[in-house]
Structures are given as C-alpha cells and as structure tokens.
C-alpha cells in the first residue's frame, strides 16, 4: 500500500472539507427565538440577532444567558458538521484527535 499517495489524497480532501466548513452557516436559537446566532462550520461566530427587548432589572443577565445557550447550541452543530465531513474523508481510518493535527 502506498501510504504517501493515500495521505496525499487525504490532505487534498481535507483542504476541501476545511474550506467547505469555513463557508458553512449553522444557526441556533434560545429563548423561543429571542436570540439567534449563526456560526461557521469552523466555529467562528458570524451573526447575533436579538428580538424583543431585554429591559428591566434582569434584562442584561437574561440576554447574556440566552446568548451563551444559543452560541453553545450552534457550536455543537458545527462540531457535528465537522465530524460528519471528516468521517467522509477518513472513513474512520484515523484514531480520534489525529485528524485535528492534519487539519491544523
């Protein structure tokens, strides 16, 4: 088996997957849609959309809590998207964590 060719081809596929993840847009909501965020598949926060008002004594704290929930949900979606994409590239051939080193 020619491992050089195998890993060379895999690196090219990884570059494509990495670019696809950069361009992917994943959204999540919290507070019944009062906070909506969009992240890239590479886990960069792209947008925050707020609906309604967060006035009142607990408004800032509620807003902060909802942003955290929405961002965490979106990041979980990004992780799942990346894992699915990587599975397609490696077919489960590499041990966990090794793929992160290749993506660098």
What pTM value is reported for the model? 0.76
pLDDT value for 68: 98
Beta strand ranges found along 1-104 (DSSP E): 25-30, 35-40, 45-50
pLDDT value for 102: 52
Domain ranges of the chain: 3-89
Q: Which of 35, 101, 34, 18 is nearest to 72 (CA)?
A: 35
pLDDT value for 8: 64
pLDDT value for 38: 98
CATH superfamily membership of 3-89: Nucleoid-associated protein YbaB-like domain (3.30.1310.10)
Counting as low any pLDDT under 70, the low residues of the chain are: 1-8, 90-104
């Amino acid at each position: 088996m020619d491992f050089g060719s195998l890993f060379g081809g895999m690196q090219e596929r990884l570059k494509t997957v990495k670019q696809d993840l950069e361009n992917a847009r994943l959204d999540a909501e919290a507070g019944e849609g009062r906070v909506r965020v969009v992240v890239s598949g590479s886990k960069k926060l792209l947008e925050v959309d707020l609906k309604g008002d967060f006035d009142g004594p607990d408004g800032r704290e509620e807003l902060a809590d909802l942003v955290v929930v929405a961002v965490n949900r979106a990041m979980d979606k990004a992780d799942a998207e990346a894992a699915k994409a990587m599975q397609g590239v490696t077919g489960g051939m590499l041990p966990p964590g090794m793929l992160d080193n290749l993506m660098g």
